[in-house]
Each structure stands twice: as C-alpha cells, then as structure tokens.
Structure 1
Amino acid sequence: MIDRRPFNSLGGANHGWLNAKHHFSFANYHDQSRMGWGALRVWNDDTIAPQTGFPPHPHADMEIITYVREGAITHQDSLGNKGRTIAGDVQVMSAGTGITHAEYNLESGNTQIFQIWIMPDEHGKPPSWGTKPFPIGERSGRFITLASGFKEDTDALPLRTDARVLGATLKAGETAVYELDGQRYAYLVPAKGKIDVNGVALDARDGAAIRNETKLTVTALEDAELVLVDSAP
C-alpha cells in the first residue's frame, strides 16, 4: 500500500521568515488522518529566509533529524554545541531528558530543510547532538543510511529509536531498490525530481506513506534526490 500525499495537499503556514509545509499534523495544522506514520511523528518541509531562524526553544523525548536540502543551518544548544550543516548533510538531536536549541539560517540565500521527528524507544537518557557530512556522490544510484537506531549501521548518525533515515540520488532512468519488512512503516519524499515507486508516480516534495510492502523499487523519471524513513509501527 502506497498512499501518495501531493505537496499541494500538505498543511502549513507562511510566517514570512519561515514558509513551512507539514506532512503530518503540526502546530496549528491538524488533520486526524495525518497524525504520524508508525513512530514517525513529524516531517516538515521548511524554507527559512536569510539571517532568520528558530530562536532558542526546548524539547524533550524526541529524535529530531534535520536534512539540509539547500543552503545551510547553524545550530547551537544548551549543551554548548555549535555547528553548521550544509546541503546534503544531516544533523541529529536526541532531546532526551531536555535540551534547548536554536537553528538559524546565517546564509545569504534561503535555506531549505526537511525536519523529521521520530518517537524514541529510550527515555531518561541525557540529550545529545551530532552532525555529519554525507557526500552526494557516495549515494549515487543507491540508498545509504544517514541516521539509524541499529548498531550495525556504524557509519550513520545514531538514533535512539527503531528506525533508519536513508538518502539516495538517482540520475534520470536509474533505479534503486530498498528491502523492507512488510510489518514496518516507510515514508518517502523526493527532495528533488520526479520518481516512480512500485508503480506510483511522485513529484518533487510529494510524500508516500508506505505499508505492507517488502520491496521498494524506485526509478527516477528525472534526476532525483530522495529521503526515506523506515520506522517501527
């Protein structure tokens, strides 16, 4: 089962400095049929104007993954962490028992991010933050794991949840395959480009909510950049 969620059907709000689209209920957008997908709770498609951003605010008990699509995001938090994550790269914040953080676009142009929240399996752990480069060329024609709660994914940023966040880039006509446990939930968004996944066509920034599938065959109808979350029910 693949449920296409067209980009123009997403909720959201334009705050001037922030133009946000929400794949799931978030803030003032509420859709009872889109409260999450398995352990995946939030997938926001955010465009942040230059020299603006999210001022310091707290979180607890959430795995927050930021995938930078364009520009860069500059992070600082109450642990003393500071870092800049550029397009194609990823940062993970495990909010744990509580953390206050800020995310700013200090660039000269817009920054575009996917902000992904996944419910944690572990509670009572101290908060943490990390960022890592994932060169686009290393995921050409295949999915690579960017963040993971599985110990065998040693090259990925760690998560405290039974989930993986994956990325791939495909040239037009290329195909990538991902084997999926049919009991799990997957959510796929092409950051760029048009694709076909198991016979369902997606445009850039559409979402695909996937269940009861054991293999995802993704073919690029044009050059594409993909982000996939594989999560527990």
Structure 2
Amino acid sequence: MNAFLHPSENRGHVKMGWLESKHSFSFGNWYNPDYMGVSALRVINDDLIDGHQGFGQHPHDNMEILTCVLKGTITHKDSMGNHGGITAGEWQLMSAGTGVRHSEMNQGDEQVHLLQIWIIPNERDAEPTYQQIKCDPREQPDQWHLIVGPNADAPMHIRQNAEVKTAVISKGKRLPIEATQHVNYVHVIEGKVQIAEHTVDAGGAIAFLENSEIVALEDTQVIWFDLPEKVA
C-alpha cells in the first residue's frame, strides 16, 4: 500500500504559557513545507489549555472548524449568539462562511484537552452556522461513528465532500476503512494501530488511497478523515 506516514515526533510543538499545542500541519509560527495539509484537511492542533485561560475573541471566515473535546469543558461564545460549554465526548462544528468572531475559554480549574481541526470548504462566503453534538465513542467501542458529512442526514453537515468518523478500538480488534471519497487520513489520538504494513503511534497519522483495515495494537482512539481527491 502506497502511504504517507506522519510520525508524531514530526509535529510542531508550541509551548506558550497557558497553551501547549502540537501541530500536525503548518500553523501560526510553526512552518514546515512538507506538512501543509492533506486534501481539504488543513489543520489538526492537539491543544492543552490551562484553567481560566483560552482563546479570546478572534475572527475566521471561509473555513469549517471542528472541535473535539477529549478532557474537560471549553466554553464557546460567538457573534452568531451561541454561548455554552462543550464537554468531553462532545463535538462542535463552526462553519465560518462570510465571517464570525468567537472565543474558546477554559473557565474551570483543570486543564482542557481538545483537537482543533480545520477543513477547507467547497462553498465560499456562505452563511455562518453552528452545530454541536454529543458522540463519545467509548460508549459504543469497536465501531465507526460518523461525526460530520456532506449529506443532510449526517450528525453535523459540513460544506465539503468529506466525512469525519471516530472510533475507540479495543486491543486486537479490527475495523474496515472503506472510503466514500478518495483520500484516507487516519490520525491516532491515543494507543497504537497497524494499517497494512504500517504502524502508527499516538499523535501520528497515515494518509493513503486504497481501502484497508485498521488493527488496534493497544486500546486506541482514532479519527478517520475520508477526503476528496481534489479540493474544490
């Protein structure tokens, strides 16, 4: 299987006071021309946010911004009038469209752990939208859970021909990877997996084109991005 491996140790590592972040792709002050995204997937930031800290109000436009909270609760507030907490096991999708301002703050004492994911939309200057769901894959392990998709019946609708799925996989279990689009990108949140002849550790990822199978070498949580061949 032809594959592009993205080891965890090749991620950018940024530590600035209250925030520790590992960047899968070039972001902010960390730039690596070898890591500029895969297909429509542009950002995966693995963030640790100290208590009573966070990202103050700032703008975005024309980006699909997906947040996966792994530990703690982050409080979201935006210019569309949305305000509330996103806790571990919940997901938020903000389609920035023509423009939105928002803040993400840890109002508790304990550190928050989350993934911030950006996907380039296939529709520009659309009306901004906000969606939020609960989907904790630990409650139903060893199966894929669809988080976002391009169709109206997806749990959250994304403006791109892409699907994002997650799974918690018990050690020794297998799950098929059968793309509906063309480009597969599997990011390992925790644990260790094997895909074809390739082993991927926590924080690492693998991109490939063929259908395949994922084998959990340890108890594992992963995110699978099923992405278009070409970005519209």
Are 1:35 and 2:36 counterparts? yes
Counterpart secondary structure, 2:9: helix
Q: Which residue pairs with 2:192 in the alignment?
A: 194
Whole-angstrom CA distance in 1 between matches of 2:20 and 2:200:
22
Question: Contact 1:7 / 1:205 at 8 angstroms: preserved in 2?
Answer: yes
Question: How far did 1:124 drift?
Answer: 2.3
Q: 1-side partners of 2:223 and 2:94: how far apart?
A: 18
Q: Which residue of 1 aligns with 2:67?
A: 66
Alignment of 1:80-229 (within 5 A): 80-137=81-138, 139-151=140-152, 154-180=153-179, 184-208=182-206, 210-213=207-210, 215-229=211-225
SS in 2 for 1:187: strand
SS at match of 2:14: strand
User: Residue 4 of structure 2 aligns to a residue in which SS?
Assistant: strand
Cα root mean square deviation, aligned? 1.5
Q: Report SS of the residue matched to 1:125.
A: coil
Deviations 1:27-65 (CA, angstroms, capped at 9, x unpaired): 111111111100111111111111110000000000000
Q: How many residues end up aligned between the 2 structures?
A: 228
Distance 2:186 2:108 in 1: 28
- Give the Cα separation in 2 of the matches to 1:62 and 1:86: 22
Q: Tell me, yes or no, if the aligned pair for 1:150 and 1:163 is still in contact at 8 Å.
A: no
Deviation of residue 150 (structure 1)?
Answer: 2.5
Q: Displacement of 1:137 after TM fit? A: 4.2
- TM-score under structure 2 length normalisation: 0.93
- Which deviates the most, 30-39 or 3-12? 3-12
Secondary structure of 1:126 counterpart: coil
Share of identical aligned residues, percent? 34
Moved more, 16-25 or 135-144: 135-144
- Report deviation, 1:2: 2.2
Indicate if the aligned counterparts of 1:147 and 1:158 stay in contact, CA closer than 8 A.
yes
**Structure 1 consecutive aligned stretches of length 4 or more whose deviation exceeds 4 Å:** none
Structure 2 gap ranges (5+)? none
Do the aligned partners of residues 109 and 44 (structure 1) sit closer, same or farther apart at CA in structure 2, a change above 3 Å counting? same
Q: Using a 3 Å threshold, how does the CA distance of structure 1 residues 139 and 165 change in structure 2: closer, same or farther? A: farther
Q: Which runs of 5+ in 1 are unaligned?
A: none
State the alpha-carbon separation in 1 of the partners of residues 183 and 19 from structure 2.
Answer: 29
Q: C-alpha displacement at 1:155, in angstroms?
A: 4.3
Q: Which whole-Å CA distance do the structure 2 matches of 1:27 and 1:17 have between them?
A: 16
Q: Distance in 2 between matches of 1:139 and 1:92?
A: 22
Distance 1:5 1:176 in 2: 21
Residue number in structure 2 paired with 1:4: 5
Instruction: Give, as a single letter, the amino acid of the residue that structure 2 aligns with 1:146.
Output: I
* d(CA) in 1 for partners of 2:5, 2:87: 29
